[in-house]
Every structure is written in C-alpha cells, then in structure tokens.
Structure 1
C-alpha cells in the first residue's frame, strides 16, 4: 500500500506541541491526575508552555544539541513532557526500563554516552550506586518526584534563555536527525541501540493515524482518548503516545499496572481505545470467567464466550466478503448475553472502549473472535524496535483474525526462501548505534531488514507469524518445530504464567510450565484446596487440567510437533534471575541452561 501521509521535508517531533498550540490552543491533548486523584485536562497551549520552560532549563544546564538524555521511569505525564522538552532543546532521548538493574542501566548509559538521566524517584537515582563511577559522560541525574523538573524550568527562567534561542535549537533539527536511541529487549544477547530518526517516527505515526482513522479521529461529539499503561521505554507504547499528541487525541498515563490500580484508572479515565499486549486481554477474559465461576455461573459465561466467538467469526467473514454476517438467531443470542457478560468485559476496560490495538506477541483467533463478538474491534500489528513499532497491521473493516495484517502504508514485506520476514520502508531505522563513532551503522546494504522472524503470507497478502528463526527446535527425528505457537496458546490458559517448549536434539517435544498466582489461587479456592506451591506442582488434579490444555494446544500442530510430556515448576521465570527481558519475553538460552535438570528429567524413562 502506498504511503497515506507525505514524508516531512523539514522540521522534527519537537514542533508537535508548538504546532498544536498554534492551531488549536484549547484542545485537551493530555490529562493528568491532581492531588485528589481527579483527571485534569492539559490543553495544547498549556503543554507547549511546559515543554518550552523545561527545554530552556535543559539548555541553561549546558546540554548541547545531539547529546543523549536518558529517561528511566514508569508510564507517567513527566515522561512525555521530558521527551518533547529534550527534542525542543535539540537532544536525543534514551529510554531505560524502570525495572532495569543497576548493571543494565549502566550498560545502556555507558553505550549511549548519555550526559543526563531522569528517573522517577530519588531512590531510583541512589540505586545506580557504585556504577556511577563508571559513567564518565553522566553529568546530571534528576528525579521527577524530587521536583527536579520544576527546578530545571526555574533555572531556564532565571538564566534568561530566550524564545529565540529555543527556536534556533528546534530549527536545526530535520527529519534525518536522530530522535531517540532505543535498545532492543535482548532476548538473544546484549541489547542493541536502535537509532530512530524524526523521519522514521513521522512515517510511523502519520501513516498509522491516517490508516486507523476510526481510532484517532473524532467521528462524533466524543473525543478520542486513550489511557496508556504500557511502558514508554518500549517502542509500541512510545509510538502510540507520540501518535496521540500528533493527532490531538486526549492521552492519560497509568504508572501502576497492578490490577486494582489499573481498573480504577480505566474506570475514571474512560478511554475510547486502548493499546494492549495479549496478556492483558487474556487477564480480562480469565478474570471474568473466574468471577462467573465464583458466582456459580461459569456455564453461562462459557456459552457467552462461544456465542461471541461465533459472532466474531461471522463478522470477519462478512468483512472479507466470504459470508453474509451474523444471522438473526446469533444476533439475538448475542443480545441476550450483552448485559450479562459482554458489557461487563467492556466495563472492565473503562466502559467506552470501542477499539483495541494489540501487539507485542500474537493474539490468536480464540481471543480475537471473542473480543470482536463482545463489541470491541481489534487491530493486531507486528513490528520491531528497528521498524519504529508496527510495520504491519490488520486494516479497519478487513480483519483476518489470527494474522498481523498487511504492511503499513509505505512499507514493503517479502519472505526469504526459509520463510524469514524481510522489511523495507521509511519506518525502518537508520541503523544500530556504534558507541565508538557515536553514529548509526546501517543494518543492511540493500535496504531490506532481516527480522529473524518466520512467517507465511496467504493469498490476500495477510502475514501470519510462525516463530523465530533462532528458536527453531530440531528433534532427533529431524522434525523442525517452532515453539512460539504452542507457547503463546498455552500462556493464554488461566493457570499458566509462562510456558517453555523444549526438544532441540531430543526425541520429542516437551514443555515446562510456571503457574499464574492469581489463577492458581482461584483454582484452589474453587476446589477447597490449600496446597503449598512446591507440592501443588505435583498435584494430580492440576496435571489433569494442564494435560487437557496441552491436548487442545496439540491440535494446532502435527503429531511430531506435539508436546508429549510436561513438568510444572514451583517457581517463576523472572527478570531478576535473567530469565525474562524487561518486556517479559523469555530468554530461551538462559532458561534452557538454568533448568537443564528439569528438562533432562522429561526425557528419562
């Protein structure tokens, strides 16, 4: 598909707040909580004023154009404010996950050559501890909750940094200049810095806003709004936040993803659309089912889920021109269950949500058809840090659930002989950061980016992901097995937290499970059990339940690819232990090494 938005020939992301203030000063572009916990709108004019004041403070502090400023915090208003202020001062921002260890933080700060670091709390700054001595470039550390951003703005006023000086900094930036240095999650090794230019980001957000216009454009008196709870240190959340500012969509930030906190924020903010990873959508579905089970209505919930899936499938067929759409009987059944089940699902997401953008990992048809039938239109996408987030997406009113859609406008896709996905387009990054030259090194010579992901294309050009090239297992029988489809399906089970499929150089495929604490607590309560986790891992009834889940998952694959044996672990895979990345992706090599004994036990006769 050709690009829907013309690439900018001048300017940068730094101009967005000031363009908004000039064109629609009273537009509520953000919302933030006051001291009483109430959401207060921030107009375009007010946000631009805050950005300018903070940018002047950064200039007064001596930060020079092109220098790197790192941000390490949860998803909150100050994150977005500092992002735009840094750009207005001519800087390059470097996100760091707030869960990163002192060692991981030091590695990114050292590699990027960051001269300043903004963190959420003074405790986070102190945690850098002895690593600080190894950061020769780091001259400043500021904490949001210590009031440091306010003091920076005061410094800018006190030292008399002028509007003209700020305008000159902005004027130096163009589409080809680096905007941000984002590090990959490091599933297969050391994280690599990806240099994303202002032009890369504009190509991503401008085309996304045009393509997904039902989400980003007001079609009635109701202004589009979203509550962002995914980390801004991840490219998915970051690009949606920037797209919202670009399209003047009312944006709120939710720093806590604890279930109680997030549900309260959703209820009070009432977004019209959300971006989520499949795990969140699974949690909402599973929580609804657990509530129904406690009330003795689980059979009713399961029937409602089946009806929603049928409705979703027939709606999809209608959109694709392969069916007439839901019949009268199915529409009636859906209407019966709407106030009993579907409305409650929508209420858990705030009550006004009509659209969800899902990314990070495959959603799958089971959840996709359910949410479609429950009255929420889903858009599933696929992308990498290297592609400035989504490079494919399912288009409006042309859903093919279970796929990740078509290439974004302006992007191109092809498959290698082995099924590897190659990507090309204006969203593809400038290259990997070279700490020695402090410049981007292009990742390819011909413009095509090898992703390492495997996929297939159907007759209509929809992409389905089938696994990672580096993660393919080859059994001793010579069967190639992609673990991701089985892992993703089983991870959706309410009792499963993580699933590691194994079998490389083994006679058959096996799996290790970790248990979901909330799901297991409910399961034990409903069965009047109170078994410690160490013993529960060997519980026969639990194994029977998980075996049924494995049997269902095995229907996705051929017999040589199916899981023959599994084991339940008493503990969890954690980021602290080096088993998960900050975005909660499994580090397969570390897991296979650390759980070698448990894996060997699967193959003992």
Structure 2
C-alpha cells in the first residue's frame, strides 16, 4: 500500500538548482555558507562570497561554449572547490558528471566519453594524466580546468586553471551582465542536472540521469520536515561523486545552514572535535570503525574503567529499552543513568565534538546493535534509505519521531510501496529519468505503471515505516530450503568484533553457511603492537594462530545471536583487505560480492570438501 502521497509543496518547488542557489545567496548574503581547511586552520566564506565565485566560474563555462544540458565532469575528492564547480555547472545550465578520483584511467575515459563531457574539472596532475592518456578517444572534451596545479606547455589552451576560468567569466559578465539571470530562467525542472555513474557491482557503470526537479525536491522535502534549521552546522566528508553527498548540498541550499567541508576520511574524528558540527551524514562503516575503536580502547585499559564502561552501557541500553517501549524508568535506574551520563557517555559524545544532535546514516544498512549502542550514549543515528536512481533520499527517520531498525517513512511528496516478491518500489519527483544511452535497461527498471524497482526486499509497518531486509539478488537459499539474508549476518559480526573490516557470507544451495573475513588494517597494527607481533606484515598477523583464536571467539559469539540455519560453520581470514585496486570494492566502497567469490572460489569450495 502506498504511503506519504503528494502533500502539495511539490507544486511550489524552486524552478531549478540555479534558482535555488541564487535565492539562497539573496536570502542569506552575510551568513556563513562554507568552511574549509587551509593548512591547519579553517577559513569560511559567506553566501555572497560563494555566489561571486560561482558566478565567475559559471560565466567562464558559458565563455567556453557550454550549452544547456551539455555535460561537465568533476574528477575530484570532496572539498570546497568541488562544490563551487558543481554549482557553477548548475548555474551555467550544464549537467554535472561525477567521477570518483579513485576511478582508474580506463573507466574515467569511459565515463567522460559516454557522457559526452565538453569540460572536466580535474583536481590535480593525477586526474589530468588520466584524461591526457585517452585524449584521442575524447574528441568532445574541449577543456580541462585544474583545481590544483596547471597543465604543461604542450597542453596549450586545452588546460586552464580555476583562476583562468574565473577570469574568462569575469570578462564575459562585463559584456553580458545579466547572462546568469537569463540562463537560470531558461532551465526547466525536467532538464538534466546530473549524471552519476553507479559504480556497479557488476559490469560497466551506468549513468543515472537526474533532473533539476529531483534535487530541488530532495532539499525542499527535508526542509518540510523541520529536521534541520539555518543555525545547524554540517560536517561534510562524503564522496561528492555519490548521490548521498549531493543530496546534502541540495538540503543546504533549501535551508541555509553552514557546511564545513573536508573529504579526508582519516581526518573525520579529528575534524569533528575542531568543527563541532550539529549533524553529519555518513555510511555505516564510519560508525562501525568509531564503535570498534572505542571498544578496543576500553579493552586495552581494562580494570575498573572497563567495568565502569560496560556497566554504563548496560544501564543505558536498559533505559533506552524502557523509554522506547513507553514504559516508566525506575528512579534507581534514572539515578545510575545520570551518573553514567556524566562519567562515560559525555566523554563518548565529546569524541564527536559534543554538539551533534544526530547523524544520518545511509548507503547501506546500519547494524541495529551499533545503532542502539550509540543511542545509549546519547548519540542519535537516523537511518535513511535511497539509491542513486532516486537522488539518494527515499525515506528517513525524524529526530522527534523515529523507529530503531527502520529507515523511516517515505519522504514527504513521494511514495513507497511493496511490490511482487516484497520488492521496495518508489515513485515521486526524485526518481531518475533513466540510464544514459541505455533505453532497454531504463525500461526494465520501471514497472508497467511507472514505479522504480529498487531491487531491495523490504516491508512497511502500520505507520508506514520501511524496513529493508537486503538486496534481492544477494538473498540465497540453502540446500535445506532456508532463505538467508547475508547482509543481516554480516552486520552482526561487525557489531561483536571490533577488528572487523569485511565479513562475507556464502552458502547458496549448500547445506550450511560459511564466511570470508578481512580485518581492519589499522586496528590490527595496534593489536600486533600489543600482542608481541609489532613489525610483522598484515598477512602474517591476520593468519597467525593467535588472531585465528581471537576471531573464533567472535564468530562463536555471533552464532549465539543467529538462527541455527544461519550460523557460520566454517570461515577463513583473507591475507589482505578488500580494495578498489583489486576490483573487489567499487569506488563507493561497496563490495563486489561476485568478484570476491570468484577470486576465492577454491577457498570456498574447500569449506565443503
């Protein structure tokens, strides 16, 4: 049954992202828009300052001949300049094509060529080299704009700097002062805004065609829920080539809060302590790593501190259980909780800056135990759900009204239904216009009555809250006829083992389940130093009998939480973590399960020998 039908506000959306941006600049000219690191310090710009830079760059693209809907690529990590480039493309009437900076040379050329990019913003010499290597295959690419550095003399006019582009734009505006205003008026809601190439766990990446209406809808739909205000401060590290990061930009334009930007993943925890944001979007892996690190620290300290820590969370989880069930909390438990909040939970919150109102988790399922653990510490993680094909946001929990273990109700103005085979299906202004240059694949992903097939299995409760079981294509059946959702088992291991990186479950048409395990390299380096193996390689450490014995304990603990037919009977630790370079992870860090299975075919078969 569909939920959350159109609420009416979709009839009053901004005309396009360009208008949305210029309206924000006009409404909040002197308020802080963005904050970004320069060396060890942070600098900030107002909306007016951001508008001036975006205007110059957008006009520069027009001077280069970029026309309505023509594609402009961005091959760059998450940083302030990525946002400037994207907004400039939107305001020029072009369409942003995103490229992960980790994408190899061949796939970069494919994306730039398949999309027909006329211009590409390249972060540095490494990204430029990929384009140079395939220049002969990219006849439509008329210019590359360098964010850091510049081209070589032989590049000539083909390579510009960011300042070169802005200077051309300033000159262009001197002759045509109203060109940006006129351009914004010409852009329709159904005009192509973005091509995001899904990293694809199988085959070539597909370009998802997202229209201006999809992005303005996402921002306005979140604004309509009063989840965020102009006084919030976002910390943004998410890969901007991914739709999750992009939708948070649209939300910022709709609401007007400030955003601190730094895509260096290794700096997230340090940055949170400095920036002290009120919210942040993240993938579950970030919460898993933070959870694991805190657990390992407590294990290492041991003694009274460990006892105090464990008792605090025992009390916190019990208080949460009673509160979420609508039951009263006995006074002695309240007193204990208040004490532990001061002694333990407040210190956990300080690790994230001390001001976080909530985190938003998306792109994969968050383990329920880890979510409950953070909640007990007074840190709310709101799970949401969506996919690139619907501009990232399909459902999200609300900070004042949420259900743990669900991904919330449909975004206002959109609909969710459960179709054949319990498939989650979506409808609304946020749904894509199809895959670029792939008419057959586009047709196949929609039902006859126009709903987007997500490929996810799920259910809706009586209040319209969505629960995701897993990817339909990843579900398998044992030879005993039992259906297995591997993701549910895999997340349970990450909740019990603070050293886990990846845990992959197999067993299709077999008589029991097995697993391949990788451990977090940073965590294992610390473990090795504490256990007399300092200086040894990752492979030596993880294949040692001591680590095998440790992991065995965690597998046995996880098995106690599973149904009998789900338990892992045999397992092995791989000598290296999965990586993008080996082809086992996509650039967005999703596991290519089929690749891992093929690479370890003999190892898996041996489990059943």
Tell me what 1:468 maps to: 471
Instruction: Give CA-to-partner distance per residue, 1:278-319, whole Å, 9 cap, x none.
Output: 11112222222222233333333222233332233333223x
Structure 2: give runs of 5+ residues left out of the alignment.
151-160
Match of 2:20 among 3, 16, 28: 16
In terms of mean alpha carbon deviation, does 585-594 or 539-548 score higher? 539-548
Match of 1:313 among 315, 318, 321: 321
The 3 A distance-change label for structure 1 pair 336 and 330 is same
SS in 1 for 2:259: strand
Q: Distance in 2 between matches of 1:303 and 1:541?
A: 28
The 3 A distance-change label for structure 1 pair 471 and 406 is same
The 3 A distance-change label for structure 1 pair 466 and 161 is farther
Tell me what 1:332 maps to: 335
* Residues 1:285 and 2:288 are matched in the alignment: no
Question: Are the counterparts in 1 of residues 72 and 120 from structure 2 also a CA contact under 8 Å?
Answer: yes
Q: Distance in 2 between matches of 1:491 and 1:292?
A: 17
In terms of mean alpha carbon deviation, does 391-400 or 584-593 score higher? 391-400
Question: Are the counterparts in 1 of residues 455 and 473 from structure 2 also a CA contact under 8 Å?
Answer: yes
Question: Are the counterparts in 2 of residues 486 and 554 from structure 1 also a CA contact under 8 Å?
Answer: no
Tell me what 2:62 maps to: 59
Tell me what 2:274 maps to: 268
Question: Are the counterparts in 1 of residues 63 and 168 from structure 2 also a CA contact under 8 Å?
Answer: yes
Task: For residue 582 of structure 1, report the CA deviation from its aligned partner.
Answer: 0.9
* Residues 1:207 and 2:221 are matched in the alignment: yes
Instruction: Give CA-to-partner distance per residue, 1:54-104, whole Å, 9 cap, x none.
Output: 111111112122110011111101111111111111100011111111111
Match of 1:217 among 229, 245, 249: 229
* Residues 1:154 and 2:178 are matched in the alignment: no
The 3 A distance-change label for structure 1 pair 475 and 9 is closer
* Residues 1:176 and 2:152 are matched in the alignment: no
Q: Distance in 2 between matches of 1:360 and 1:312?
A: 26
Q: Distance in 2 between matches of 1:442 and 1:91?
A: 26
Q: Distance in 1 between matches of 2:35 and 2:13?
A: 31
SS in 2 for 1:118: strand
Count of aligned positions: 589
SS in 2 for 1:126: helix
Tell me what 1:6 maps to: 10
The 3 A distance-change label for structure 1 pair 331 and 188 is farther
SS in 1 for 2:479: coil
Q: Distance in 2 between matches of 1:445 and 1:189?
A: 26
Instruction: Give CA-to-partner distance per residue, 1:172-228, whole Å, 9 cap, x none.
Output: 1021111111111201332211111111112211111222x24x215xxxx210110
In terms of mean alpha carbon deviation, does 122-131 or 348-357 score higher? 122-131
Structure 1: give runs of 5+ residues left out of the alignment.
none
Tell me what 2:306 maps to: 298
Question: Are the counterparts in 2 of residues 266 and 349 from structure 1 also a CA contact under 8 Å?
Answer: yes
The 3 A distance-change label for structure 1 pair 10 and 291 is closer
Tell me what 1:601 maps to: 606
Tell me what 1:586 maps to: 591
Match of 1:234 among 242, 247, 268: 242
Q: Distance in 2 between matches of 1:208 and 1:395?
A: 10
Q: Distance in 2 between matches of 1:277 and 1:529?
A: 32
The 3 A distance-change label for structure 1 pair 230 and 242 is same
Q: Distance in 2 between matches of 1:197 and 1:457?
A: 28
Task: For residue 581 of structure 1, report the CA deviation from its aligned partner.
Answer: 0.7
Q: Distance in 1 between matches of 2:131 and 2:331?
A: 62
Match of 1:487 among 473, 483, 490: 490
Match of 1:577 among 572, 582, 606: 582
* Residues 1:411 and 2:414 are matched in the alignment: yes
Task: For residue 411 of structure 1, report the CA deviation from its aligned partner.
Answer: 1.9
Task: For residue 7 of structure 1, report the CA deviation from its aligned partner.
Answer: 3.5
In terms of mean alpha carbon deviation, does 21-30 or 79-88 score higher? 21-30
Q: Distance in 2 between matches of 1:9 and 1:358?
A: 26
Task: For residue 434 of structure 1, report the CA deviation from its aligned partner.
Answer: 1.4
Q: Distance in 2 between matches of 1:9 and 1:441?
A: 29
Q: How do 1:444-523 and structure 2 match up within 5 A?
A: 444-492=447-495, 493-523=497-527
The 3 A distance-change label for structure 1 pair 309 and 185 is farther
Q: Distance in 1 between matches of 2:438 and 2:382?
A: 37
The 3 A distance-change label for structure 1 pair 80 and 357 is same
The 3 A distance-change label for structure 1 pair 7 and 251 is farther
Task: For residue 514 of structure 1, report the CA deviation from its aligned partner.
Answer: 0.8
Q: Distance in 1 between matches of 2:195 and 2:514?
A: 39
The 3 A distance-change label for structure 1 pair 511 and 541 is same
SS in 1 for 2:265: coil
Task: For residue 462 of structure 1, report the CA deviation from its aligned partner.
Answer: 2.2
Task: For residue 598 of structure 1, report the CA deviation from its aligned partner.
Answer: 1.2
Question: Are the counterparts in 1 of residues 118 and 141 from structure 2 also a CA contact under 8 Å?
Answer: yes
Q: Distance in 2 between matches of 1:53 and 1:327?
A: 62
Q: What TM-score comes out, normalization by structure 1 length?
A: 0.92
SS in 1 for 2:57: helix
RMSD: 2.3
Question: Are the counterparts in 1 of residues 292 and 499 from structure 2 also a CA contact under 8 Å?
Answer: no
Tell me what 1:534 maps to: 539
SS in 2 for 1:6: helix
Q: Distance in 2 between matches of 1:264 and 1:100?
A: 27
Q: Distance in 2 between matches of 1:8 and 1:192?
A: 31
SS in 2 for 1:390: coil
In terms of mean alpha carbon deviation, does 500-509 or 522-531 score higher? 522-531
Match of 2:140 among 130, 137, 140: 137
Tell me what 2:348 maps to: 345
Q: Distance in 1 between matches of 2:193 and 2:367?
A: 34
Question: Are the counterparts in 2 of residues 185 and 191 from structure 1 also a CA contact under 8 Å?
Answer: yes
Instruction: Give CA-to-partner distance per residue, 1:352-390, whole Å, 9 cap, x none.
Output: 112111111111321222222212222110100011112
Question: Are the counterparts in 2 of residues 364 and 401 from structure 1 also a CA contact under 8 Å?
Answer: no
Question: Are the counterparts in 1 of residues 243 and 392 from structure 2 also a CA contact under 8 Å?
Answer: yes
Q: Distance in 2 between matches of 1:409 and 1:238?
A: 19
SS in 1 for 2:435: strand
SS in 2 for 1:145: coil
Question: Are the counterparts in 2 of residues 434 and 440 from structure 1 also a CA contact under 8 Å?
Answer: no
Q: Distance in 1 between matches of 2:421 and 2:593?
A: 21
Q: Distance in 2 between matches of 1:150 and 1:317?
A: 58
Task: For residue 555 of structure 1, report the CA deviation from its aligned partner.
Answer: 4.3
